[in-house]
Amino acid sequence: MQGGVETHAEHLCPRLAAMGCEVEVIARAPYQPEQPSQWQGVRFKRIWSPKSKGLEAVLHTFLGTLYAGLVSRPDILHIQAIGPAVMTPLAKLLGLRVVVTHHGPDYDRQKWGAFARTVLRLGERFGMRSSNARIVISKVIAGIVQTSHRRDSFLIPNGVVLPELPTTTGTIEQFGLERGKYVVIVSRLVPEKRHLDLIAAFRLASIPGWKLAIVGASDHPDAYVREVLESARASTDIVCTGLQTGLALKELYSHAAVFVLPSSHEGLPIALLEALSFGLPVIASDIPANLEVGLPEDSYFPLGAVDALSGRLKAFAKRVPFQQERNQRRVWVAARYDWDAIATRTFDVYKTILNKSSHSRGRDASPEANLPVN
């Protein structure tokens, strides 16, 4: 199941390649097909990892770092997220220049046990203190880096691409949904997304003729996933679509009445930005990362407050949808979260590191970099 970090890399890497970088993505073999080996100018290096929730990330990052340090020798190793950043000291020991993007304090996620939380905190510490440069995707995370690690960072948010709005309805008809009469959430099925809060609030709202569409899946189905699916199956007006991509996902976004994100943890929520790019009104929990997006006040509700979320759903259901309002949301989010500008600012971070290195060695830095992304 593709999450925020993967979506971030999917949009960023081709743009870096178009700007002259030689981009190589180090991918986990179980999730990356052998073909294509290249995509939009980006090369893929498949490296083995076990399909194990507790081991795959750390083992894959260790092997990927060894590959970068001993074989590939890139100008920049860009590590995405604080979990893989635990290998930053090893990368530096191997003589690599390292950029780490902090996508959020993952140790706050409900799914992790004590050992995993410790590793994630170490990853944040090593990544923020040992790297050549740090990128953060929100002001909230920039504050964490400055307060906890006394390091400056480059604030470069996630982005969106304004999609073409589909007129087809095959997917929503397949799931028994009606245009403009369903609530949608798009996310991994993990505890911090708080699907159960949304299910409870939707039932409490009891909006005649409306349904709830839960879009997403999990790489590692567990007790939480089973609880969400069982709770959804208990109601005929709640639909679980599983993982959806391409036109199917566009239809689910485009024809919904409102997008809801009741989560307890986010870095900067890409799914929320995607919903805005389709012009959807949004209801979100009032955690700092969601508040930073800058939605209208009535789009937020107190985290975990099922009654308040139910009230928001009923209020939004009564509103008459206007296409002009949807168009305004699309223009607003595109201006604030443009991937081309994000890629340019990321490339500037790379050039800053290379220029510092070249000055210390008395030579000009190359404008091109080979960039494994973990």
* 319 residue type, one letter: R
d(CA 64, CA 286): 37
Give the burial class of 11: count Cβ atoms within 10 A of its Cβ; 0-12 exposed, 13-18 middle, 19 or more buried.
Answer: middle
Query: Is 63 buried (19+), middle (13-18) or exposed (0-12) by CB count in 10 A?
Result: middle
Q: Report the pLDDT value the prediction gives residue 165, as an integer from 0 to 100.
A: 94
Superfamily for domain range 170-335? Glycogen Phosphorylase B; (3.40.50.2000)
pTM for this one?
Answer: 0.81
Q: Is 146 exposed, middle or buried (0-12, 13-18, 19+ CB in 10 A)?
A: middle
Q: How many CA atoms lie within 13 A of 290 on its CB side?
A: 24
Return d(Cα 102, Cα 268) in angstroms, integer: 11
Measured over the CA atoms of residue 305, residue 311, residue 314 and residue 315, the dihedral's sign is negative
| Class in CATH terms, 4-159+338-361 | alpha beta
Q: Do 102 and 88 meet the contact criterion of CB atoms below 8 Å apart?
A: no
- Per-residue pLDDT tens, the chain, 374 aa: give them: 456 788 899 999 999 999 999 999 999 888 888 888 899 999 999 999 887 766 788 899 999 999 999 999 999 999 999 999 999 999 999 999 999 999 988 888 777 788 888 999 999 999 999 999 999 999 999 999 999 999 999 999 999 989 999 999 999 999 999 999 999 999 999 999 999 999 999 999 999 999 999 999 987 778 999 999 999 999 999 999 999 999 999 999 999 999 999 999 898 898 999 999 999 999 999 999 999 999 999 999 999 999 999 999 999 999 877 889 999 999 999 999 999 999 999 999 999 999 987 766 654 444 444 455 44
Name the residue among 167, 54, 62 with its Cα closest to residue 114: 54
* Domain ranges, ordered by start, for the chain: 4-159+338-361, 170-335
Question: How long, in residues, is the chain?
Answer: 374
DSSP letter for each residue of 278-344? TT--EEEE--HHHHTT---GGGEE-TT-HHHHHHHHHHHHHSPP-HHHHHHHHHHHHHHSBHHHHHH
> Which two three-digit tokens encode residue 124?
């944040």
Q: How many CA atoms lie within 13 A of 283 on its CB side?
A: 30
Q: What tokens were used for 347?
A: 């490339």
Q: Which residue has the tokens 């409900």?
A: 110
Domains 4-159+338-361 and 170-335 share a fold: yes
